Structure 1
Amino acid sequence: MLTVSDLISPAAFLSVVGTVQDANPGMDGGMAQRIASEGLKFVVAFAKMPDVALAPSRVVDEGWHALILHTKVYEELCASLGDFVHHYPGYDPDNYDPLILVRTQDAIRIAGYDVDEELWGAPTGDQLIAVSVKCQHSASDTGPIKPMPAPRPPFRDKP
């Protein structure tokens, strides 16, 4: 099986792990590494199968978010994979294909990686960890997850 250490530099990986921890105060470093690793695997799987409806679990989405925040690392990763994986935030967490997480895990295995199955739970209230985003995301604007309208109006207090 392949390892994510082949995808980005060790320093970049540790920085992504730190970003996962920053978004989740008190998170154990080992858990943050697992989440960052699954986020990387998701990006690889989608880059290899862009026409398949895939999505990360809410927990794995934390790793994807952290990776995206490292824009240069993310850009270089996507370039090395041959396809830029865009991020479409979903606004309806109840509107998702129940098999999408199974399909995504299968795509990760097809890409040559093991899956950390504990991190791939459905978007329900009983998550393995508390995550900063309470929605389901997709790498495709045509998938079963409804993309958030863009641009979103800024929040304003009422007068």
Structure 2
Amino acid sequence: MTDTTNRRVIDARSLISDDTRATLVANMRDKFPQLTEEKADRGVGQMLAFLAACAYSKRPLSPSPLVDDFWHAFLLHTKAYREFCAETFGRFLDHQPGYLDPEEHGGGRALRAGTVDCITLAGYEIDMEFWPELDLAHCSQCHANCSDSPNHPAIHS
């Protein structure tokens, strides 16, 4: 069981410069006018937390559709994205959409639940508004198959 009571939670938005973050926020607000600046900024953070988990996980991870939209916005700034990957992870993180066998990796929801677990275990903040299909924000019971639960399948990361 993972003890999260004394762990420092990392805000992934600190992984990029304020200028790059402002550019991504503006890009997402242009594409999705209903996004507030505050929500777009939080979305950038969730995308960066996802990328950080991907850089260290040995198993496939999957963004939510909204987090994927933020990743696409970053990918369009290829030079900034390439430099971010090199400086932060020491390698380029490819975006490779494709089919993952549900028998091997679980369905989309299971894969994203594992992704959220990996992000959390890596120490990054999770904003459940960006992972709506998981509906875990209202969980109030112990051992509900979250990363600390003895009912949770073993993570091989």
Aligned length: 121
* CA distance in structure 1 between the partners assigned to 2:94 and 2:125 by the alignment: 23
* CA distance in structure 2 between the partners assigned to 1:60 and 1:66 by the alignment: 10
Cα distance, 1:33–1:73 mapped onto 2, change above 3 Å: same
Q: Answer yes or no: is 1:27 the counterpart of 2:35.
A: yes
* CA distance in structure 1 between the partners assigned to 2:92 and 2:133 by the alignment: 26
* CA distance in structure 2 between the partners assigned to 1:40 and 1:18 by the alignment: 16
In structure 1, what residue type is equivalent to 2:94? Answer: H
CA contact (8 A) 1:67 1:74 kept: yes
Matches within 5 A, 1:47-58: 47-49=55-57, 51-58=58-65
**Aligned mate of 1:37, from 29, 37, 45:** 45
Matches within 5 A, 1:78-157: 78-79=85-86, 80-90=88-98, 96-122=107-133
Indicate the percent of aligned positions where both proteins have the same amino acid. 36
Unmatched tracts of structure 2, length 5 or more: 1-8, 135-157
| Shift in Å, 1:105 | 0.7
Cα distance, 1:106–1:28 mapped onto 2, change above 3 Å: same
* CA distance in structure 2 between the partners assigned to 1:82 and 1:102 by the alignment: 26
| Shift in Å, 1:96 | 3.8
**Aligned mate of 2:22, from 14, 19, 25:** 14
* CA distance in structure 2 between the partners assigned to 1:116 and 1:78 by the alignment: 22
Cα distance, 1:90–1:24 mapped onto 2, change above 3 Å: farther
CA contact (8 A) 1:17 1:66 kept: no
CA contact (8 A) 1:54 1:104 kept: yes
* CA distance in structure 1 between the partners assigned to 2:109 and 2:13 by the alignment: 30
Q: Secondary structure at the match of 1:88?
A: coil
Aligned to 1:153: none
